[in-house]
Amino acid sequence: MRDLFDKIYKDKGPLGKWAQQAEGYFVFPKLEGPISNRMKFRGKEVITWSINDYLGLANHPEVRKVDAEAAAEYGSAYPMGARMMSGHTDLHEKLQDELASFVNKEASYLLNFGYQGMVSTIDALVSKQDVIVYDVDAHACIIDGVRLHLGQRFTYMHNDMDSIEKNLQRATKICEQTGGGILLISEGVFGMRGEQGRLKEIVELKKKYNFRLFVDDAHGFGTLGATGAGAGEEQGVQDDIDVYFATFAKSLASTGAFIAGDKEIMDYLKYNLRSQMFAKSLQMQLVVGALKRLDMLRTMPELKAKLWENVNALQSGLKENGFDIGTTQSCVTPVYLKGSIPEAMALVRDLRENHGVFCSIVVYPVIPKGLILLRMIPTATHTLEDIELTLTAFSVIRERLENGTYKRLSAAVTASLEE
């Protein structure tokens, strides 16, 4: 019998094997200073394209004021205990009512964290007789939630309607035998590619197949739709989403999340969501802060307008300069380049040290080998100057990638891994 930890010593994993070269710089970097379009990285000012603060609320003076007042009044502990036992308040209910109204649903329920809440919601919605059908590019929180399922689950090819229908047919045959039902899970906006889920076409399939639709709209909430109610509103099918999920960690620049749908479904979930039943209630300062942020979302449309002004300027500028940004239909702006992981490290170091541009780097195994994804998140706080400087920097790094500069610079890193 082997020692349980043998695998840890021998195999650090596809990302962990790069820790010696990457940690503290490429992964687990430390941005400093007030959250904004420009922050400090290792003592230098950089244009930040990796902060999910879409509407610029994180450091907004009105938000900071309310957060400070709530912390002073309630502290960081209140209410103590799980909501079922001792952590339920009028303000939790008020926030739920306002969130439900905002996304045009009967009711909503607060979640302490988006990741935790998604996993627990999937677990509560299905039993072993049921079948889950979900996008192969679904976020890790969805994948982990699906892993808890004791019944059958099928992935469909990303946003592929033929694949969705084939898997619904498979699921239907199984459920006819088990007596179960079908849960189809899509994202409103896929966080890496920036593509919207094909919600309108998926909803059309409800005419042929009996399934319920669960949508993770973390990146759509606050950024898409006429009022900011998300991808369902953008595509005109919000009423047809059976369970709607969004997090506070993007547009609301905070901590927490919520689910929304018919009142009877929400009542069932609040009595069966293990991650909420057995966890401390969302802190009051976060609840009060979320109420303020939601009010600003409703009453200050200029925030979303400024966000999209920057999104359009950045994305059109990248396309005009010949960059591949895929088929994004949202604020998420991916830039695809070809190169190895060591080349990606050299490229990103050049961007940060010599051009003052900080954006997230995504490599294998998140995307296929040989590709480099620079993932950019425009916000309402960015300026046209930020965009112009970034476009110039990207042109320089692309030329150096293509002429082999980064390959030569990364040779030492490659050699150290082969030793």
Mean pLDDT of the chain: 94
What phi and psi values does residue 336 have, to the nearest 5 degrees? -100, 130
Reply yes or no on whether the pLDDT at 149 is more than 70.
Answer: yes
Whether residue 319 sits in one domain with residue 255: no
What was the pLDDT predicted at 264? 97
Identify the helix (H) or strand (E) that includes residue 16.
none
One DSSP character per residue, 335-403 reads EEEE--HHHHHHHHHHHHHHH-EE-EEE-TTTS-TTEEEEEE---TT--HHHHHHHHHHHHHHHHHHHT
Average pLDDT for 362-376: 86
pLDDT single digits (tens) 299-308? 999 999 999 9
Give per-residue pLDDT as tens, 12-53.
877 777 777 778 888 899 999 999 999 999 999 999 999 999
The rounded distance, in Å, linking the Cα atoms of 354 and 343 is: 16
What is the CATH classification number for the domain harbouring 43? 3.90.1150.10
By C-alpha distance, which of 279, 248, 287 is closest to 95?
A: 287
**Residue 412 pLDDT exceeds 70:** no
Q: Mean pLDDT, to the nearest integer, of 90-103?
A: 98
Q: Are residues 280 and 396 in the same domain?
A: no
Q: What 3-state DSSP class applies to 193?
A: coil
Choose one of 272, 299, 326: the last residue of a domain: 299
Query: What confidence tier does 292 reach under pLDDT thresholds 50, 70, 90?
Result: very high
Question: What is the model's pLDDT at position 414?
Answer: 57
Burial of 5 (0-12, 13-18, 19+ CB in 10 A): exposed
pLDDT at 416: 52
pLDDT higher than 90, residue 134: yes
Specify whether 26 is located in the same domain as 66.
Answer: no
The CA distance from 325 to 46, in Å, is 22
| Residues 177, 68 share a domain | yes
Say what the alpha-carbon torsion angle 405, 408, 409, 410 is, to the nearest 10 degrees: 120
Is residue 84 located within the same domain as residue 168? yes
Do 159 and 235 fall into the same domain? Answer: yes
pLDDT, average across residues 405-418: 71
Residues 138 and 198 reside in one and the same domain: yes
120 close to 276: Cβ distance less than 8 angstroms: yes
Question: In the prediction, which pLDDT does 232 show?
Answer: 98
Residues 256 and 341 in one domain: no
Of 276, 299, 322, the last residue of a domain is 299
Predicted local confidence at residue 159, as pLDDT:
96
| Stretch among 143-147, 155-159, 408-412 having the lowest mean pLDDT | 408-412
Q: Which of 283, 300, 317, 303 is nearest to 386 (CA)?
A: 317
User: Structural domain tally of the chain?
Assistant: 2
Question: Could you tell me which of 283, 253, 301 has the C-alpha nearest to residue 64?
Answer: 253
| H/E run at residue 116 | helix 114-125
Please identify which residue in the block is written with the tokens 């009595």. Answer: 271
Give me 248's structure tokens. 């506070």
Residue 378: which of 6, 54, 15, 91 has the closest Cα?
A: 54
The residue whose two tokens read 């919207």 is 196
Range 189-213 average pLDDT = 97
* Alpha-carbon distances of 212 from 5, 171, 182, 269, 325, rounded to whole Å: 42, 12, 6, 15, 32
Residue 107 confidence (pLDDT) above 80: yes
What is the residue range of 372's domain?
A: 5-54+301-416
Tokens, residue 80 = 């103590």
Q: Which of 271, 299, 327 is the last residue of a domain?
A: 299
Q: In what order do the strands lie in the sheet with 360-362?
A: 333-338, 371-376, 360-362
- Shared domain for 126 and 220, answered yes or no, is yes
Backbone angles phi, psi at 144, to 5 degrees: -70, -35
- Are 306 and 295 contained in the same domain? no
Q: What is the mean pLDDT of residues 389-394?
A: 98
Residue 415 has pLDDT above 70, yes or no: no
Model confidence band, residue 317 (pLDDT cutoffs 50, 70, 90):
very high
Residues 52, 255: Cα–Cα separation, whole Å:
12
What CATH number should be reported for the domain holding residue 91? 3.40.640.10
Contact 301, 309 (CB under 8 A): no
379 and 286 both lie in a single domain: no
Quick one: 363 and 407 in the same domain? yes
Distance of CA 53 to the CA centre of its chain: 12
CA distances from 196 to 230, 365, 370, 416 (A): 10, 22, 25, 41
CA distance 292 to 300: 12
**Per-residue confidence at 58, pLDDT binned at 50, 70, 90?**
very high
Could you give the percent of the chain with pLDDT greater than 90?
A: 86
For residue 365, what pLDDT is reported? Answer: 73
The average pLDDT across 50-75 equals 96
- For residue 174 the two structure tokens come to 């199984």
187, 151 Cβ separation under 8 angstroms: no
Per-residue pLDDT tens over the stretch 231-268: 999 999 999 999 999 999 999 999 999 999 999 999 99
Q: What is the pLDDT of residues 325-346, one digit of tens each?
A: 999 999 999 999 999 888 998 9
What is the Cα Rg of the chain in Å? 22
pLDDT score, position 8? 85
Tell me the mean pLDDT in the region 78-85. Answer: 91
